[in-house]
């Protein structure tokens, strides 16, 4: 018996397979690395008040996200550079996510086309950065709709890209444009066209919803008042996220921002999800108790993809789901609805 938990072996196993610059690119945070460094510990800081003498003979961690039934509330966060981890990149990731009955977030800087992704049958959400040239964004949205995207995830924490102190020049030398921007519409785009729009306001939510006919989820919210602004502007969902500690360094851990955001939109139909540092079943239990409908994992999915492609991704998601199920049983909560804030001790 014993040995290391498989999930805990993933990063070093991936490091043995990936070019050094790619490993560093995946793992790093911005600036001094404060936020990336404390994300997981902030989840582990919560304490539970488990219920006893409740029937936990049958546990179902399944739920729906924006109306899509999922076998697990553990979803995969959008991330770029997946073809650096696996020759099939997002397509290998998509097949693993699909096997686990989950949902895939697809970066607007993906290395597979939306049509190819749609053909895998995975339920997927388009993550979009609105760029200065709205015509380019419009064309990308239309292609995503044609590829069967079920939601648009608008990332709002990136008016500019966070500085990574130890950014390896070499990652950009290794990647070919098609591996990064497979969905860039044909055209003679300038750097200014492609630059991220830094003058957005909540009206962009309605614009995206109207253009696509899809629910819009705002990713990168850390404050209750911002969540309320997004909800008032028509958002269907909020992802509490600090971009895995890759944008404003020192941003509050998502484990601590989640209660405020959940409270700000309580009683509405807005679904709240969260990501950042989630590595164990107990972290997921905490997130759901604090009001999240689902969680996203970012780096662990990249490590799993690098280590064992599609089966690795599927195993990561099923292992985390098994851990959640186990924790739910120990906590006296047979399904996600039974996970409420009173499961956690003060201070929450
Ligand atoms: C990201 N993330 C990200 N987010 C986004 O909205 N669009 C993107 O293209 C990317 N790209 C990206 C690349 C890499 C290498 C990483 C590690 C992350 C952020 C991602 O969606 C998510 O918010 C975090 O990764 C969640 O934190 P953990 O689970 O990695 O700790």
- DSSP H or E stretch at residue 192: helix 191-194
- Residue 199: other Cβ atoms inside 10 A: 8
> Which residue shows structure tokens 């409420």?
340
Ligand 1 centroid from CA 4, angstroms: 26
Residues 6+ apart with CB under 8 A from 197: 130, 131, 132, 159
Does the complex come out with an ipTM higher than 0.85?
yes
Q: Is 154 helix (H, G, I), strand (E, B) or coil?
A: strand
Q: Is 107 in the pocket of ligand 1 (CB under 6 A)?
A: yes
How far is the C-alpha of 311 from the C-alpha of 318, rounded, in Å?
10
| Whether pLDDT at 166 is above 80 | no
Q: Which pLDDT value is given to residue 139?
A: 97
How do the domains of the chain map onto residue ranges? Answer: 6-254+271-345
The 3-state DSSP class for residue 11 equals helix
Q: How far apart are CA 338 and CA 334, in angstroms?
A: 7
d(CA 311, CA 296) in angstroms, rounded, equals 18
Q: What is the per-residue pLDDT for 168?
A: 58
CA atoms of 128 and 151, how far apart (whole Å): 10
- Per DSSP, what are the bridge partners of residue 75? 296
State yes or no: pLDDT of 177 exceeds 90.
no
Ligand 1 site, residue 109, Cβ cutoff 6 A: yes
> Which ligand 1 atom sits nearest the alpha carbon of residue 243?
23
Quick: pLDDT tens for 235-294: 999 999 999 999 999 999 999 999 999 999 999 999 999 999 999 999 999 999 999 999
Residue 40 burial (CB count, 10 A): 17
The atom number, within ligand 1, closest to the CA of 155 reads 6
Nearest Cα residue to atom 13 of ligand 1: 79
Residue of the nearest CA to atom 12 in ligand 1? 79
Residue 335 Cα to ligand 1 middle (Å): 28
Percentage of the chain beyond pLDDT 70 is: 98
Is pLDDT at 169 greater than 90 in this prediction?
A: no
Q: Is the CB of residue 22 below 6 angstroms from any atom belonging to ligand 1?
A: no
Residue whose CA lies nearest to ligand 1 atom number 25: 298
**283 C-beta closer than 6 A to ligand 1:** no
299 within ligand 1 shell (Cβ under 6 A)? yes
Residue 243 appears among annotated catalytic residues: yes
| pLDDT single digits (tens) 32-69 | 999 999 999 999 999 999 999 999 999 999 999 999 99
Hey, what CATH topology would domain 6-254+271-345 get? TIM Barrel (3.20.20)
Q: What is the pLDDT of residue 1?
A: 45
**Ligand 1: nearest atom to the Cα of 276:** 27
Q: Is the CB of residue 323 below 6 angstroms from any atom belonging to ligand 1?
A: no
| For ligand 1, atom 18: residue with the closest CA | 79
Mean pLDDT calculated for residue range 178-207: 93
C-alpha 28: how far from its chain's center? 16
| 298 Cα–ligand 1 center, Å | 5
**pLDDT (average), residues 120-145:** 97
Task: Determine the Cα–Cα distance for residues 239 and 220; give it in Å rounded to an integer.
Answer: 6
Provide the pLDDT for residue 266: 97
The catalytic residue among 23, 243, 283, 326 is 243
**Is the CB of residue 14 below 6 angstroms from any atom belonging to ligand 1?**
no
Say whether pLDDT at 346 is over 80. Answer: yes
Higher pLDDT, 179 or 184: 184
* Ligand 1 proximity of 319 Cβ (cutoff 6 Å): no
Instruction: Give which of 72, 86, 232, 244 is closest to 155, Cα–Cα.
Output: 244
Which residue reads 């909540």 in tokens? 202
- Mean pLDDT for the chain overall: 96
């Amino acid at each position: 018996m014993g040995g290391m938990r498989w999930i805990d072996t993933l990063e070093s196993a991936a490091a043995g397979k990936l070019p050094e610059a790619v490993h560093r690119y995946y793992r790093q945070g911005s600036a001094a690395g404060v936020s990336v460094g404390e994300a997981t510990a902030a989840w582990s800081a919560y304490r539970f008040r488990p219920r006893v003498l409740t029937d936990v003979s049958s546990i179902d961690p399944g739920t729906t996200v924006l109306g899509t039934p999922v076998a697990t509330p553990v979803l995969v966060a959008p991330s770029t550079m997946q073809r650096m981890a696996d020759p099939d990149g997002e397509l290998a990731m998509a097949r693993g996510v699909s096997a686990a009955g989950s949902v895939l977030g697809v970066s607007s800087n993906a290395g597979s086309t939306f049509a190819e992704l749609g053909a895998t049958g995975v339920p997927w959400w388009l993550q979009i950065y609105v760029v200065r040239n709205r015509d380019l964004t419009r064309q990308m949205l239309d292609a995503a709709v044609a590829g069967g995207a079920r939601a648009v995830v608008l990332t709002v924490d990136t008016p500019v890209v966070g500085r990574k102190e130890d950014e390896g020049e070499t990652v950009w030398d290794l990647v070919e444009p098609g591996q990064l921007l497979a969905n860039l519409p044909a055209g003679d785009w300038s750097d200014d066209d492609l630059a991220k729009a830094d003058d957005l306001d909540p009206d962009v939510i309605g614009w995206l919803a109207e253009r696509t006919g899809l629910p819009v989820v705002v990713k990168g919210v850390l404050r209750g008042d911002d969540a309320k602004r997004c909800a008032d502007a028509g958002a269907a969902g909020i992802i509490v996220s600090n971009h895995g500690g890759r944008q404003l360094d020192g941003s509050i851990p998502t484990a601590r921002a989640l209660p405020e955001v959940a409270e700000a939109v309580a009683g509405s139909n807005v679904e709240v999800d969260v990501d950042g540092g989630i590595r164990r079943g107990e972290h997921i239990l905490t997130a759901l108790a604090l009001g999240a409908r689902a969680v996203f994992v970012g780096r662990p999915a990249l490590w799993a993809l690098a280590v064992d492609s599609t089966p690795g991704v599927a195993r990561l998601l099923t292992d985390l789901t098994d851990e959640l199920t186990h924790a739910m049983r120990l906590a006296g909560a047979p399904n996600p609805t039974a996970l409420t804030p009173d499961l956690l001790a003060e201070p929450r």
